[in-house]
């Protein structure tokens, strides 16, 4: 069966069973099956309070014309009050299925999470600082988004990681962004082709 990609879209939700189920499936496939991380460390106590982002692809069968939409990438964000010890937003669980990595969906997901952070930070009057625990081979990927290493490298679930922090800048006017909080579908869809 030959298919062509019609579109990508990013949706997000908190406590949305359909979105979370798809995000969990992708994370299990990438982190547990592909990268061999233990499954018991993949899902934790913040799943129900985190903001889950899901990138969906719509593909068309070139023979039948049938279209199918499915989740192929995910990222998770938490607000500063979820991890009070770090008092920052946290980016975690970025995963894209192997067959779709050439489409720059990781970039689309990080930009979507950053948009959410900027909206939430503006609405709650908090600094737009994001922390992530990067696996060592992907440090250059996060540096493209303004993340800088903080502290020493450490072991997390048997793999070396580096804590990284990005301090996001608010665009002008912020009032435009605040009006979009909670809409469920971010402007990142316009950037689905991965171009900046």
Instruction: Decide if pLDDT at 2 tops 90.
Output: no
Residues 149-165 pLDDT 10s = 999 999 988 889 999 99
- pLDDT digits over 173-194, tens only? 554 444 444 444 444 443 333 3
Nearest Cα neighbor of 133 from 37, 28, 14 is 37
| Residue 64, domain member (yes or no) | yes
Examine residue 192 and state whether it is found in any structural domain, yes or no. no
Q: Could you list the residue range(s) of the whole structural domain that residue 166 is in?
A: 3-182
Give how many domains the chain has, as a whole number: 1
Q: What percent of the chain has pLDDT over 90?
A: 63
Q: Is there a domain that residue 138 lies in?
A: yes
Residue 11 resides in a domain: yes
Residue 98 pLDDT greater than 90, yes or no: yes
CATH code of 24's domain: 3.40.630.30
Considering just the CA atoms, what is the radius of gyration of the chain in Å? 17
Q: What length does the chain have?
A: 196
Structural domain includes residue 188: no
Q: Is residue 189 part of a domain?
A: no
Q: What is the H or E stretch that residue 92 is in? A: strand 89-96
Instruction: Look at residue 195 and tell me if it is in a domain.
Output: no
pLDDT score at 187: 44
Any domain includes 196: no
Residue-wise pLDDT for 8-26, tens only, equals 999 999 989 999 999 999 9
Q: Are 90 and 113 in contact (CB under 8 A)?
A: no
């Amino acid at each position: 069966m030959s298919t062509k990609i019609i579109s990508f879209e990013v949706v997000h939700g908190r406590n949305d069973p359909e979105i979370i189920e798809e995000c969990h499936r992708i994370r299990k496939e990438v982190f547990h099956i592909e990268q061999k991380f233990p499954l018991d460390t993949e899902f934790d106590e913040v799943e129900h309070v985190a903001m889950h982002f899901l990138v969906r692809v719509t593909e068309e069968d070139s023979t039948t014309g049938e279209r199918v939409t499915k989740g192929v990438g995910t990222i998770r964000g938490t607000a500063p009050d979820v991890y009070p010890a770090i008092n920052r937003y946290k980016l975690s669980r970025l995963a894209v299925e192997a067959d779709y990595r050439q489409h720059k969906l990781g970039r689309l997901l990080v930009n979507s999470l950053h948009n959410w952070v900027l909206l939430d930070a503006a609405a709650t009057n908090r600094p737009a600082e994001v922390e992530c625990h990067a696996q060592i081979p992907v440090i250059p990927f996060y540096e493209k988004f303004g993340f800088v290493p903080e502290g020493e490298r450490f072991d997390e679930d048997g793999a070396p990681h580096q804590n990284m922090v990005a301090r996001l800048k608010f665009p002008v006017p912020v009032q435009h962004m605040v009006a979009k909080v909670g809409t469920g579908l971010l402007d990142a869809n316009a950037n689905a082709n991965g171009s900046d």
